[in-house]
Structure 1
Amino acid sequence: MTQTRSRNLVKTVPGLLVSAFFLWYTFRGIHPSEFRALSLVHPVWMLGVLGFTVAGYTLRCVRWTRMLRSTGAHFGPCARVLMTSLAANNIMPLRIGDIMRIFTYASDLGAAPSVIFSTVILEKLLDVFVVGLIFVRTAGADLPLKIRRGADAALIVSSVGLLILMFGAGKLEIPARKLFSALPRNRFIQKAEHWLLLAISTLRQMGVAGNIVLLVQSAAIWFCEGMIFVSAIHLVGLAVDALGPWEAVSFANLSYMLPSSPGAIGPFEWAVKTSLVSHGSTQALSAVFGLAIHAWMLISVTGAGGLIFLIHRIRIHNHTPLLEEIETLPTELP
């Protein structure tokens, strides 16, 4: 157990250093007095921030319930587990929330960990696809021509790949097995094969109609996420063009791919600042806005997920310390 904690610490420290660097880089040269320059100019937009936050995360729960429909899982347990895992991801390192979702709560959902893991893979694929689409469409004009063409090509390739995966899943398993059998056998290749086949299995069970619904739900989820930024920008009266909020929400969420502290603290603020400045806002206000909107996202999601987690533990009379439960989690994904 001590060795596991030591390994986890070694993995966590570099992320904290990355976050510290991005925070310094984002807020360097900004005087503390400028943090007070952000004020509630149009308070009515607070309803938009709150409403789209609730709608977006409710849709996430609905989408995940649909992915697990073949296991007989219902909305209530799925929503509880998903919100708990999102809250844990925001405050704990190494994506502990996703690990808990796959292993700790498998019995609550009546599904095998491997089945849950396949839905987590699919969830990430859909989110990255939609966020990448928004980013390329909103940030393209700010990119050099060669990078813009490369980004467009990558988007086309990823779009075709995802569509083939989603709508041709029933015919992909045998070719995928043949492809991996021709590759060198090592631990990484074996894991990649296992995870891809899990995702294909989930998509095959969903069917074409079900996969179309997942795409529509994913688009709706990220529309709500973008509208949180739009509402917040109107709330504080930030001067940006119409594309600014959408580049900010896409770039900020892509920043989660950078290894950093839980919640992507640092890279998130830098991404929001960079996006808004490129669409007409000032350096100081953009940085402070990035900090404020990130604080809202972390507090609202972590608060809701944490409250749901505590209520459930009290209801089932679970008195085991959370850290002890985490220590019993497997060290590897299925």
Structure 2
Amino acid sequence: MLVKKAAGLLLRLALVGGCLVYAFWGIDFGQLWDTLLRYDDVALFWTTVFSFAGYGVMALRLNFLSGFAAGNWLCFKAFLMSMAVNNIVPAKLGELAKAFYLRRECRFSLSRSITMVFWERFFDLNAILAMGLVVAFHFKLKMAFVPLAGAVGGIWVALWIVRTYPDFVGRIIDRMPSNRLAEFLAELKLQVLHGVTPGFMIVLGLYTLVCWVFYASSTFLVLLWVAKMPLSWGQAAAVFVISSLGMAMPSSPGALGVFEAAVVFSLGLFGVDRSQALAAGLVLHMVQYIPVTVAGLLVLGKSGLSLRKIRESDEALEEAEG
């Protein structure tokens, strides 16, 4: 186990290090600073404010997944906290923090909370894949999204198997070595069999569409309004999709380094100077990183949870709650 964790850490460090070298290689820092000074401060302020509207839509979707039992305000705080944790610690622990928070505040089972997070992330992956395939075929980057397509397709096949062969899946669940994993899979199986109707899929898909429209709008505002780059809407969309893929990759907290490299790479496809591209990447990341992290840490501080407890098993968390 320790060897596996060490190998994973080394791979992430290598990825982040390589991305940082790529993003900053050959940069004229004087030009970079001059570019940042030319940005529209008023546009940057309102773009940052607008980003919280997108977080509000994310909260609406999470409340839908709770059966409207959690409430929009609680889901908004849960989302902010999960983003903050993801931005300061590795391994996407923010998703686990969100599940723990919902369990504590709503008295949900941990399995139910984790299942809600699963549907969030799964539909987000489908959104990235759908947008990515359009961009990939338009800009001839067809191989870029093959791994993601394989992962998403594999999950759809697994859900189909659960729906078609529930008894077989039940026997597999009974043999799971971890009780917590078995409970999560049992909850997911129950939802797939009885709760995942065509109506559920359509409504969740519509919520996800609105979430990603708001999320993409922040990128469009930074590139076209704050930075005033001479890009078409399609080119700005390509930058958004590629940078979102960088954010989704397991790497550094908040995808620091990886996100900037993705923006520099994608803007480079359209002939944008590296210094200008890096400036846009840094500002866009700042908009998506600093305000939500500060707000989320305030929620975390008032929640009674801690990063140490989130890292541990939920049994340790239960002891702390007791």
**TM-score, structure 2 as length reference:** 0.80
1:227 aligns with one of 217, 220, 234: 217
The separation in 1 between residues aligned to 2:128 and 2:19, in whole angstroms, is: 21
Note if 1:87 corresponds to 2:84.
yes
Note if 1:63 corresponds to 2:38.
no
Q: Deviations over 1:36-62 (max 9, x none)?
A: 123445555436523531221101111
Indicate if the aligned counterparts of 1:83 and 1:305 stay in contact, CA closer than 8 A. Answer: yes
Unaligned runs of 5+ in 1: none
Q: Give the AA of the match of 1:279.
A: F
Equivalent position SS for 2:230: coil
Aligned position for 1:216: 206
Aligned-residue offset at 1:13: 5.4
Equivalent position SS for 1:243: helix
Note if 1:283 corresponds to 2:274.
yes
Aligned-residue offset at 1:251: 1.5
Q: Give the AA of the match of 1:202.
A: Q
Note if 1:236 corresponds to 2:234.
no
Indicate if the aligned counterparts of 2:39 and 2:226 stay in contact, CA closer than 8 A. Answer: yes
Name the CA shift for 1:328/1:134 in 2 (closer, same or farther; >3 Å). closer
Indicate if the aligned counterparts of 1:241 and 1:279 stay in contact, CA closer than 8 A. Answer: no
Equivalent position SS for 1:73: coil
2:239 aligns with one of 248, 273, 276: 248
Name the CA shift for 1:307/1:8 in 2 (closer, same or farther; >3 Å). farther
Name the CA shift for 1:327/1:289 in 2 (closer, same or farther; >3 Å). closer
Using the aligned pairs only, state the percent identity.
21
The separation in 2 between residues aligned to 1:158 and 1:212, in whole angstroms, is: 18
Indicate if the aligned counterparts of 1:103 and 1:329 stay in contact, CA closer than 8 A. Answer: no
Aligned-residue offset at 1:108: 1.0
Name the CA shift for 1:9/1:85 in 2 (closer, same or farther; >3 Å). farther
Aligned position for 1:309: 300
Name the CA shift for 1:228/1:293 in 2 (closer, same or farther; >3 Å). same
Aligned position for 1:270: 261
The separation in 2 between residues aligned to 1:274 and 1:158, in whole angstroms, is: 27
The separation in 2 between residues aligned to 1:117 and 1:160, in whole angstroms, is: 16
Q: Give the AA of the match of 1:325.
A: K
Matches for 1:1-334 after TM superposition, within 5 Å: 12=9, 14-36=11-33, 37-42=35-40, 45-46=43-44, 49-69=47-67, 72-103=69-100, 105-143=102-140, 147=143, 154=149, 158=153, 161=156, 172-178=162-168, 198-202=187-191, 204-205=194-195, 207-233=197-223, 234-310=225-301, 312-313=302-303, 322-326=306-310, 328-330=312-314
The separation in 1 between residues aligned to 2:46 and 2:154, in whole angstroms, is: 31
Indicate if the aligned counterparts of 2:55 and 2:79 stay in contact, CA closer than 8 A. Answer: no
Name the CA shift for 1:257/1:143 in 2 (closer, same or farther; >3 Å). same
The separation in 1 between residues aligned to 2:114 and 2:103, in whole angstroms, is: 10
Name the CA shift for 1:138/1:230 in 2 (closer, same or farther; >3 Å). same
Q: How many residues align?
A: 310
Aligned-residue offset at 1:289: 1.0
The separation in 2 between residues aligned to 1:29 and 1:67, in whole angstroms, is: 47
Name the CA shift for 1:279/1:241 in 2 (closer, same or farther; >3 Å). farther
**TM-score, structure 1 as length reference:** 0.77
Indicate if the aligned counterparts of 1:100 and 1:329 stay in contact, CA closer than 8 A. Answer: no
Q: Give the AA of the match of 2:229.
A: L
Indicate if the aligned counterparts of 1:52 and 1:228 stay in contact, CA closer than 8 A. Answer: yes
The separation in 2 between residues aligned to 1:94 and 1:154, in whole angstroms, is: 21
Aligned-residue offset at 1:309: 2.9
